[in-house]
Amino acid sequence: MQKVFNNKMAIFLFVFPGILLFSLTFLVPIVLSAYYSFRDTLSPGTPSAFIGFANYTELLFHDSRFWLALRNAVLLGLGFILIQHPIAIFFAIMLDRLGGKAEKWFRTIFFIPCVISVVVISKMWLSLLDPTFGAFNKMLDSLGLGFLKHAWLGDSSTALISMLFILIWAGFGWGLLFYYAGLKGIPDDLYEAASLDGASGFRLHWRITVPLLSPVITVQITLAMITALKQMETVFLTTNGGPGDSTQFLAVYLYNKAFSASQYGYANAISILFIIVCLLATYLSNKLTRSDATEF
């Protein structure tokens, strides 16, 4: 084996297929996207003119819909981090303490939304929040709260909040699973020692659980921001960015510009900025979580 590792040609033959696959599926599309972003292109292969940074100038300084889509994506990311993840950590701790068959049943129940098709989830919530026949409005009627009935996804004042709730609910199982797996890797001896020293309840988990879960939290925050920025399927199938642009997200806006408005060059400019924003979000989330972890 040592002879193989010392043979540069052997190393090259092992690594080359992976590099080739990575280049064809990742690097080449990015380079082509960057190329088209500097041109006035309606579709791939059609004649186009070089327009320099015109697409980027329009996008950054004159396109309010882009900034609205970015704001909504950031709000979704904050919803994941500040709402979904703390609740996921809480329920993961509860499941870990529960044990027995009940633990397995609840673990399965919480993860069910993650294995259901996005199409099914989208249609289910469209039915539940239907202003006329939806189960949610009917439940409000039965509770004597009919005055709260609303077109939850059809009114710009509540559409974004409703969409954020749906997306946070749909991804809850993944967060719970990651934190639950992280908790299983924490030795019980640490909790016993902390209990003997007088720690209990919230203080016990704040001093033991959270610091030891910091690697999982770092990964989860990074994934949350990336997921929020590239969120498309559920939004596209429920509101398609409407009503108006109240639920517009980056990926949906990019898709509509490329395939509905036929502004292929402009859509590629959005995709390049999209990559930059994702990289920046990943860098910041890693930096912030690592600096917070050192405080414990």
Per-residue pLDDT of 146-203, as tens digits, reads 888 889 999 988 999 999 999 999 999 999 999 998 988 888 888 778 777 777 777 7
100-150 tens-digit pLDDT = 778 888 888 888 888 889 999 999 999 999 988 889 999 988 888 888 888
Confidence band of 2 (pLDDT split at 50, 70, 90): low
57-70 tens-digit pLDDT = 999 999 999 999 99
Confidence band of 287 (pLDDT split at 50, 70, 90): confident
**Tokens matching residue 163:** 């969409």
pLDDT of 164: 94
pLDDT of 191: 79
Mean pLDDT over 84-95 rounds to: 91
Average pLDDT, the chain: 86
Mean pLDDT over 211-227 rounds to: 88
Mean pLDDT over 227-248 rounds to: 91
pLDDT of 292: 53
Confidence band of 272 (pLDDT split at 50, 70, 90): very high
Whole-angstrom distance, CA of residue 262 vs CA of residue 50: 17
Name 125's Cβ contacts closer than 8 Å, sequence gap at least 6.
153, 166, 238
If one counts every other C-beta atom within 10 angstroms of the C-beta of residue 76, the result is: 25
pLDDT of 5: 63
**Beta bridge partner(s), residue 39:** 50
Query: 71-80, 106-115, 232-241: lowest mean pLDDT where?
Result: 106-115
pLDDT of 296: 46
pLDDT of 205: 79
> Among residues of the chain, what percentage have pLDDT more than 90?
35
9-47 tens-digit pLDDT = 777 888 888 888 988 888 888 998 999 899 887 776 677
If one counts every other C-beta atom within 10 angstroms of the C-beta of residue 117, the result is: 9
Confidence band of 75 (pLDDT split at 50, 70, 90): very high
> Residue 47: is the preceding peptide bond cis (ω within 30°)?
no
pLDDT of 55: 93
**Tokens matching residue 47:** 């004649």
Q: Which of 222, 210, 223, 204 is nearest to 182 (CA)?
A: 210
Burial class for 202, CB neighbours closer than 10 Å (0-12, 13-18, 19+): exposed
Whole-angstrom distance, CA of residue 66 vs CA of residue 248: 9
Confidence band of 219 (pLDDT split at 50, 70, 90): confident
